[in-house]
Amino acid sequence: MATSCYVHIPFCDDICTYCDFCKIYKKSGNVLKYLNALKQEIQKYYRGEALKTLYVGGGTPSSLSLSELKQLFQILDIFVKEEQIEYTVECNIESITREKLLLFQQYGVNRISIGIESVDEKSIQLLGRHHTKKQVEDVIHMVKEVGFTNINVDLMYAFPWQTKSSFLNDLSFFCSLKVPHISTYSLILEEHTVLYQKKLEPIAEELDLWMYQKIEETLKELGYHHYEFSNFAMPGYESNHNLVYWNNEKYYGFGLGASGYIDSIRYQNTRSILKYVSGIPRLEEHQLSKKEEMENECILGLRKMEGISKERFLKKFHIPIEEVFPIQKLKEKQFLEEKNGYLYIPEKYLYISNEILLEFID
C-alpha cells in the first residue's frame, strides 16, 4: 500500500543550464493536453489509499497560470488525503505570486519548496536563473506573510567558478532567510546539460568538501538538524515526503518522467511528451528481487543520519542484516557505527558515503 505520491509538472519558462530533470518549455496548449493525460494516468493507477504526503515537483509547477493551477489542483482532489497530510509544491522565485500562494492554500497545500540555488550575480547568470537577491527576500517575506510556515529553500554550491568568498556570502544569505528547511546540493555536471557541454572542469574535491563541512557546521550552530546527507531542518520540519524515499517505502509517481515504487515494482514513466499525452505513460517496470529490495533498503537508509534500523530490517525481510551484508567488516574499518539498534555512517565519512555503499553491497 502506498501512502505517498509525487506528481511531476515538466513545464518551465526557462531551462536552467545545470538541470537534467524532465522538463520542457511551457506552452498553454501543451499544458491543457498534459493535465488531461495526467488525470487519465491517476484515474488508471491510483487505488484510493489515503495519502500522508503529496509532492508536486518539476520542472516548475509555479510557472502554470492561475487557471492552469486551478485545473491541476482539481485533478489532484482525486486523491484521498489524510487530515495531517504534508502537501508540497515546488516554486521558482520568478513565478511565485500572492494569488498563486492563496490558491495553494485554498486547495490544502501547506509546504512550499523554493529553488533559489544562489544569489551571487555571476552564479545566477551562469546557472540560467533570473532572480535578484532583493526578489528572493521579497518573495520569502510574502510566502511567510500569506501564512506558510513550512518552507524549504534549495542551496547549490561547488560551482566551477565559485570562490570561498562567494560561497560564504551565499551561505550567510540563506541563513538570514530564517526558513525551517534547507536542501543543499553540490553541483554535478550532468550530461545533456548546457554546463556539461561547455566542458567545465569540476571544482577541486578538497574545496567541495570544505564547502560541505562549512554548511554542516554553520547550520548546526543555528539549530538545524542534519537529518539526511543533503538536508537540514529545524526540529519538526523534516521532509516527510523525502523520508518516504529514504525509508524505502512505497509511493506513487505520476506525470512525465516520474518514477514510482508499488508492489515490489519500480517503474519509470516516459520522458516523451508525445507518448504521454497519447495515453502511454509507462516506459518500463522492474520487479525487484528480495536481494534488490534489501540493497535498496540499505542504500537509501544510510543517507539518513540515524541510519538503518536493524529491527525494521528484520521485520521487513525476516533475516538479520548481518547475515546479508558485511556489517562487521565495515564496523572494523569504522565506516559503520551502531547506536540504539541503528547502523549509520559516521559524520566524518559521509563525504565518501558512495564508496562505502559500494563496499556495503559488494
Cis peptide before 59 (omega within 30 of 0): yes
Which domains are seen in the chain, by residue range? 4-245 (3.20.20.70), 308-362 (no CATH)
CA distance 347 to 327: 17
Closest by alpha carbon to 16, among 56, 59, 57?
Answer: 59
CA distance 327 to 345: 11
Residue 190 has pLDDT above 80, yes or no: no
According to DSSP, the residues that pair with 57 across neighbouring strands are 8
CA distance 166 to 185: 16
- Reported as half-sphere exposure (CB side, CA atoms, 13 A), residue 281 has a value of 23
At 60-81, the pLDDT tens digits run 999 999 999 999 999 999 999 9
At 67-121, the pLDDT tens digits run 999 999 999 999 999 999 999 999 999 999 999 999 999 999 999 999 999 999 9
pLDDT of residue 192: 76
CA distance 62 to 95: 6
The DSSP annotation for 235-273 comes to TT---HHHHHHHTT--BEEESTT-EEEETTEEEEE---H
